[in-house]
Amino acid sequence: MTASDSIPGQDRYWMQRALELARRGIALCSPNPVVGCVILDRAGQLAGEGWHEYDRLDHAEIMALKAARRPIPSEDLRGEAADRMAVDRVRGGTAYVTLEPCCITGRTPPCTQALIAAGLARVVAATIDPNPAVAGRGLKALQAAGLQTTVGVCGDEARRLNEGFARWSRSKRPFVLMKAAMTLDGRIAPPSAGALHGGFSPLKPVPGEQKRGKPFWITSETSRQAVQQLRWQADAVLTGIGTVLADDPLLSDRSGQRRRRPLLRVVLDSALRIPLDSKLVKTAAHDLLIFTVSSDETRLRELTARGVRVEVLDADSSQVPLGQALDKLGAEGILTLLTETGTRLNTALLAGGFVDRIYFFVSPQIMGSGAVPAFDGLDGSIAMADVEVERHGNDLGLTSLLRDPWPSVRTA
């Protein structure tokens, strides 16, 4: 096995193609990882390619092998001869796969066995599998069968695609992506929204101030479209009761792109204050989950009758325990959780060390000290390394990884 710093251009080229294929599985794979695969014949020509979608069962490697083995139409070959030639095409060839091939039996047999049986000479993996049950064992199985293996080609891009799977595989909790829209001075709402977004009171009325149940847009339409992309890529989106009371959000995926299961909308509501006529409750179809510590049987029945799922958690205080909520979501196979919360929950999530990646949409305006801050009461600073910057119209998108979910040894 090699993990060379000098990666041939051909390896990069074909791994980039495998990554393109893997992206076709976004929102269609969870709770499995997003994986793409390209297979070349022994002459270095494209023989087959594939990607994984959960409902199709077959992993990317199997899809690519099946594509490679389809008989090639020829006037000189028919029947068994054509089938034999199709099978022989991949012998001595190379497979490029964005994630280490699995060596365990799950819903399907191990992909390592299929690659070995196909007679491939080489397998190039972008990264090892973060699942402790695999984590390097797949590559070792291929080596033991005589295949050459290379790992690390386009590894950063491949790991970025499966941050949710990596976090869930190792902790059985979702990868938490905190999204916040704010001004240059770190404000998320005008003064009049203060009592609803974490207990801040307005200093004085301002023109165009927020009214209860009416969202106040800080960022541009272009930024809001980018948020829809984040929702599309997530399994669930979480907010707090303060945001629900202030904005009456729908929290739906309006990207228009395919997804395997509905976006799970999650609300932390310790006292079950969510209005029965809120947009969330009125559109609930067992895709709205409320975590609470309340035992109000009347409210529980009212919400359940409207298609709302309610989980009553054990707590020593009046607040919903964040760790328990994440454990519950992980048990449901939620790999990526997008948070769209107000001051109190933003602060609690960061202070508790629950946030894996942040994505801030920053609008070029200053709202003033009386407006609602994105965070309040953080004990100490939080450093953001390797910040990526994007433009969304006149806004800036800033994202940074706070906690790397991948194993520290990435080349097995």
Tokens of 89: 């095409």
Placement of tokens 């992980």 in the chain: 330
Which contiguous run of DSSP H or E holds residue 338? strand 336-339
Q: For residue 387, give the DSSP letter.
A: -
Report phi then psi at 87, rounded to 5.
Answer: -65, -40
**C-alpha span between 344 and 348 (Å, rounded):** 6
Largest CA distance in the chain: 85
* Per-residue burial over 128-165, b = 16 or more CB atoms within 10 Å of its CB, e = otherwise: bbbbeebbbbbbebbeeeebebbbbbbbebbbebbbbb
**C-alpha span between 351 and 337 (Å, rounded):** 17
* Beta strands 187-189 and 236-240, pairing class: unpaired
Q: For residue 396, give the DSSP letter.
A: E
Closest listed residue to residue 96, CA positions, set 144, 47, 58: 47
Our answer to whether residue 61 is catalytic in this structure is yes
With beta carbons less than 8 A apart as the criterion, state whether 179 and 227 touch: yes
Closest listed residue to residue 401, CA positions, set 167, 218, 220, 223: 167
Q: Is the dihedral of CA 310, 176, 317, 201 positive or negative?
A: negative
With beta carbons less than 8 A apart as the criterion, state whether 252 and 304 touch: no
Q: For residue 384, give the DSSP letter.
A: -
Q: What is the 3-state secondary structure (H, E, C) of 207-275?
A: CCCCCCCCCCCCCCHHHHHHHHHHHHHCCEEEEEHHHHHHHCCCCCCCCCCCCCCCCEEEEECCCCCCC
Distance of CA 108 to the CA centre of its chain: 23
Catalytic residue among 49, 61, 100, 340: 61
Catalytic residues: 61
